[in-house]
Amino acid sequence: MAHSAPETPAKVTMQSAETRRSHDSIWRGLLPLALGMVLALALQFVLPAIVGQYNSRIVMDIGIAMIMAVSLNIVNGMTGQFSIGHAGFMTLGGYTAAMLTYYGSLYMWGAPPAHGHFLGAGEWMMAGACIVGGLVAAGAGYVVGLPSLRLRGDYLAIVTLGFGEILRVVLQQTSKVIEDPAALKAAKWSQLFPPPVGGAIGFADVPKYTNLFWVYTFVTITVVVAYRLKNSSLGRAMISIREDEIASQAMGVNIARNKVLAFVLAAFFAGTAGGLFAHESGVIISPKDAGFQRSFDYVIMTVLGGRGSITGVMLAASILTALPEMLRDFEQYRLIMYALLLIIMMLVRPQGLFGIHEIWQLWPGKGTRTVQKKA
Amino acid sequence: MSLLSVNDLWVSYGAIQALRGISLRVEPGEIVTLIGGNGAGKSTTLRTISGLLQPRSGEIQFQGQAIQGRAPHHIVTSGLIQVPEGRGIFANLTVDENLQLGAFTRSDRVAIRKDRERALELFPRVRERLKQLAGTLSGGEQQMLAIARALLARPKLLMLDEPSLGLAPQIVQTIFQVIREINREGTTILLVEQNASMALQVAHRAYVIEVGEMIMDGPAAELAASDEVRKAYLGAH
Amino acid sequence: MADFAQTLMTALAIGSLYALIALGYTMVYGILKFINFAHSDIVVLGAWVSYTLANKILPMLGLNPHNPETAPPLWVGALILLSAMVACGLLGFAIERLAYKPLRRAPRLNVLITAIGVSLLLQNIGQLNYVFGASPQKMPALMPNIDLLRLSLPSGDGYRDVVIGLVDVMIFATSAVLMLVLEYLVFRTKLGTAMRAVSFSTDNASLMGIPVDRVVSFTFVLGSSLAAAAGFLYVMKYPGLNQPAHSIWVLLGLKAFVAAVIGGIGNVRGAVLGGFVIAFVEQFGAFYISSNYRDVYVFALLIIILLVRPTGLLGSPVREKV
């Protein structure tokens, strides 16, 4: 289709953006990161005192949902592929991280419960484990992303769904958790297969290190990376794949590389989110977390937020995480209302809350022409 | 009374105005052609008449009845049949099944069988391929099938969208011969073409459309002789 | 030998259930090009309507539905099956008109999300106390579990009995009849030709005078009633009836969907083939390798087939044009 081919003006802005970036590139990355960490610290120390432990826990859940939804948006929103296996990456990362901290603690300190205080050794171990979990998930993302070179649309969705389901079944077949430090030290490497992560009943006794600071630090990293990606030439290449794959290929975009890259990146962040989730108090990770029903939750967040809009997706993640909690008193009707909301939303505002725009672009005067027209 | 009359038709795709108030009429028994360049709005006109697109404003009358805004299958029932651009063959069905669908709105078995015989007489090559999947036909054969299928609907007005598109000159000749013959037997025809020279040869009257507006109309022979048309559409200098 | 024969029997019965459900997925995909995630919930509804009706009808005949001494006459089962098919057909019609039809020109992802919404809605309405409730029930037997045939076949060192039960045979026979009816409808009638035309191109179909909306509705009615039949037959075989939102139903639907994809989505005969392929891989894998991984075999097969033949076993390759 002729009209979707990039026009010359777009190219000009792309170049000028690139020149600009070389000057203040470091600041543009680090400043938001620092601000985010300050905010995370503030949340950690102020929020529980104001809203209480229970509500703080919801805010933590919101943060994890944000990482999931924003990262899924790289695949679904930017490159326009359709993954419904995102919870699979999350769970894979979660199990990996949990295994590292659980057995690490057991080995070093002789007991799995939380070790050290705020920002103590235990928490740093958890943060490291989350990153390793992210890397393992990214590896899986590479493998799952490969079929996207041959498959598109719904077929790819089914492969990602199959990945989550296979992971779920495989995790059910894992063996019992080793609880005794002496037994751990005597264990042979062969006992790692199948990994001792609890089987169908789940992986209990993972040390509970996750707090608001760590969650929102990871949220910040995810959002900064996603935002910078969206406004980079790489991100624009990804968006062009969404708009028209064939035209984009004709413009010289390496479709294969970009699609797989999107998968790898999204899987990495999902893996870290899984790590945070596994170390959250009150959570026992179990194989059913990998199932596609949870993946749906994140797909719904990206769709409600608007594909490609990072702030929109974050808002949707907050609403959809908090809403079920608020409706807890109407337990029976909670999911019915949720479902109706979804259907009505698709009927009346199919482009999502913000469409492709960010929240500040909706402000009158600052928005693009299309936004003003809608307002 | 005109068989078809279109009055001040406006059609848009989103923000893009495709038709800006075009008007045309087709009298019973005529071959009328609508010529114009790529993207002029020829197909849009036919798709709107058939009910596949909704006009923003304007009126379409067929046999004195306003038909704008009606569902495509209702319009077909009234005898206004279109052979769409790209032929609109169902590649997953056999040639025979494609023909059956042509008569979808009819139930008079005997008459259908008669019309089918007549259509296959006009296009003997289609008869040879009845049991084949329509997707395996050549482009020319598909166009023949598309016209044969349309005839099974007993059109009062047959609208053809670019029947010559992508076909070898020899096959184009055959197709245009058949169009003449169908018309001689009493079917009115509205022919949309980019191949203006062929179209002006068979048509009685012609309209010229350019970026959504009618810029000329008149007897086909007169238009073919006019400098403007010769320059723009017939490749003369 | 005996084990093989027994596994074969189970695979045939389960395969016909998968096939019945897969037909609904494949027909809707063929016409509207989206995965109808709410389809598995129609199966659930079919099962629960059957249960509800059985509990109403059996007492009228003086039978205790919870502890039937004698099985009711066969017409009771047939009546319940037909009622469930009609009820689900109507629901399928309503869902299409209310939720999907307004989105006919919307992006496919939106339709997919709507389908997920419809699925959630059906599950949770079904769980309400005054609908079906949120606890499992036991389906009363509607036919006597007679062993039609008892064969002694060699197994290992000795011999083992292989039983061909009435229930398995009825499942297979009912499904076969329904599939033949569908085959006739799709490939031998004017309406079926119209359905196939709509699935190829809705615009061109409407230029033939085909009322596209009515054909789409009819497809939903057809697919939904087949799903209802599958739900009925499923609880005949497995009387432990799980609550509407239980994940076992989702998995059942998912496997049927996989069957549709493996056979070549949009292809009616492919769905039936896929149903049996899936059941054979699952049942034989479970018996000869390990039953723990039975779901893995299905999804692994799916991924392999998609990579080797992206359009499925019987699907025709379609190239995207610029």
For C122, name the nearest residue in chain A, comparing CA atoms only: A336
Name the 3-class secondary structure at C33. coil
Q: Which of A138, A161, A129 is nearest to A90 (CA)?
A: A138
Chain A: closest CA distance from residue C118 (Å): 7
Name which of C102, C129, C295 is nearest A169 (Cβ-Cβ).
C295
Given a contact cutoff of 8 angstroms between Cβ atoms, the answer to whether C92 and C223 are in contact is yes
What average pLDDT does this structure show over C39-45? 96
For residue B102, CA distances in Å to B63, B98, B105, B153 come to 21, 7, 8, 5
Residues of C in contact with A151 (CB under 8 A): 306-307, 310
For residue A364, the model assigns a pLDDT of 58
Q: What is the mean pLDDT of chain A?
A: 82
Tokens 């960490």 found at: A37
This complex has an ipTM of 0.92
Name which of B52, B76, B88 is nearest C209 (Cβ-Cβ).
B76
Residues of A in contact with C247 (CB under 8 A): 288, 291, 293
**What confidence tens digit (pLDDT) does each residue in A242-285 have?**
877 788 888 888 888 888 899 999 999 999 999 999 999 888 99
For residue A43, the model assigns a pLDDT of 85
Rounded to a whole number of angstroms, the CA Rg of chain B reads 17
**What confidence tens digit (pLDDT) does each residue in C264-288 have?**
888 889 999 999 999 999 999 998 8
* Residues 8-47 in C contacting A (C-alpha not used; CB under 8 Å): 29, 34-35
Chain C: closest CA distance from residue B113 (Å): 15
For C209, name the nearest residue in chain B, comparing CA atoms only: B73
Name which of C197, C212, C316 is nearest B90 (Cβ-Cβ).
C197
What average pLDDT does this structure show over B195-201? 90
For residue A200, the model assigns a pLDDT of 87
For residue C88, the model assigns a pLDDT of 97
Residues of B in contact with C317 (CB under 8 A): none
Query: From the candidates B83, B97, B112, which should be mutated to test the interface with C, based on the most C CB atoms within 10 A?
Result: B97
Residues of A in contact with C103 (CB under 8 A): 346-347, 350
- Test B73 with C206 for CB contact under 8 angstroms: yes
Most distant CA atoms of chain B, gap in Å: 54
What b/e readout covers B26-44, taking b as 16+ CB neighbours within 10 angstroms?
beeebbbbbbbeeebbbbb
Given a contact cutoff of 8 angstroms between Cβ atoms, the answer to whether C31 and C113 are in contact is no
* Residues 160-219 in C contacting A (C-alpha not used; CB under 8 Å): none
Residue B208, pLDDT above cutoff 70? yes
For residue C204, the model assigns a pLDDT of 95
Q: pLDDT category, C317, cuts 50, 70, 90?
A: low
Query: From the candidates C120, C291, C298, which should be mutated to test the interface with A, based on the most A CB atoms within 10 A?
Result: C120
Chain C neighbours (≥3 Cβ pairs under 8 A) are A, B
Strands C137-138 and C240-241: antiparallel
For residue A90, the model assigns a pLDDT of 96
| CA–CA dist C141, C158 (Å, integer) | 33
Given a contact cutoff of 8 angstroms between Cβ atoms, the answer to whether A132 and A262 are in contact is no
For B80, name the nearest residue in chain C, comparing CA atoms only: C207
Name which of B84, B91, B100 is nearest C207 (Cβ-Cβ).
B84
Chain C: closest CA distance from residue B12 (Å): 16
Name which of C121, C300, C310 is nearest A343 (Cβ-Cβ).
C121
Instruction: Please tell me the least confidently modeled range out of B154-168, B187-201, C144-158.
Output: C144-158
Chain C: closest CA distance from residue B170 (Å): 27
Who has greater pLDDT, B99 or A144? B99
| CA–CA dist A48, B62 (Å, integer) | 73
Q: Which of B123, B41, B138, B122 is nearest to B87 (CA)?
A: B138
Query: From the candidates C251, C306, C313, which should be mutated to test the interface with A, based on the most A CB atoms within 10 A?
Result: C306
Strands B16-26 and B4-13: antiparallel
Query: From the candidates B75, B99, B104, B107, which should be mutated to test the interface with C, based on the most C CB atoms within 10 A?
Result: B104
For residue C89, the model assigns a pLDDT of 97
Q: Is A175 exposed, middle or buried (0-12, 13-18, 19+ CB in 10 A)?
A: middle
Residue B33, pLDDT above cutoff 90? yes
Chain B neighbours (≥3 Cβ pairs under 8 A) are C
Q: Which amino acid is at C217?
A: S
Most distant CA atoms of chain C, gap in Å: 68
For residue C68, the model assigns a pLDDT of 63
What average pLDDT does this structure show over A339-357? 80
- Tokens describing residue B91: 């590649």
Other CB atoms within 10 A of residue C128 CB: 14
Tokens 């600041």 found at: A27
Q: Omega before C73 cis (within 30°)?
A: no
Domain residue spans of chain A: 32-290
What average pLDDT does this structure show over A42-51? 85
Helix (H) or strand (E) holding C150: strand C147-155
| CA–CA dist A74, A266 (Å, integer) | 6
Q: pLDDT category, A32, cuts 50, 70, 90?
A: confident
**Helix boundaries (H) for chain C:** 2-32, 39-60, 74-95, 108-126, 166-188, 190-200, 202-207, 212-237, 247-263, 268-288, 294-308
**What confidence tens digit (pLDDT) does each residue in A325-340 have?**
877 777 778 778 878 8
Residue C20, pLDDT above cutoff 70? yes
**What SS3 string covers chain B?**
CCCEEEEEEEEEECCEEEEEEEEEEECCCCEEEEECCCCCCHHHHHHHHCCCCCCCEEEEEECCEECCCCCHHHHHHCCEEEECCCCCCCCCCEHHHHHHHHCCCCCCHHHHHHHHHHHHHHCHHHHHCCCCEHHHCCHHHHHHHHHHHHHCCCCCEEEEECCCCCCCHHHHHHHHHHHHHHHHCCCEEEEEECCHHHHHHHCCEEEEEECCEEEEEEEHHHHHHCHHHHHHHCCCC
For A151, name the nearest residue in chain C, comparing CA atoms only: C310
Helices C247-263 and C39-60 cross at an angle (nearest 10°) of 120
- Test B101 with C210 for CB contact under 8 angstroms: yes
Chain C: closest CA distance from residue B224 (Å): 32
Residue A7, pLDDT above cutoff 60? no
- Test C197 with B50 for CB contact under 8 angstroms: no
Chain C: closest CA distance from residue A299 (Å): 8
- Test C113 with A335 for CB contact under 8 angstroms: no
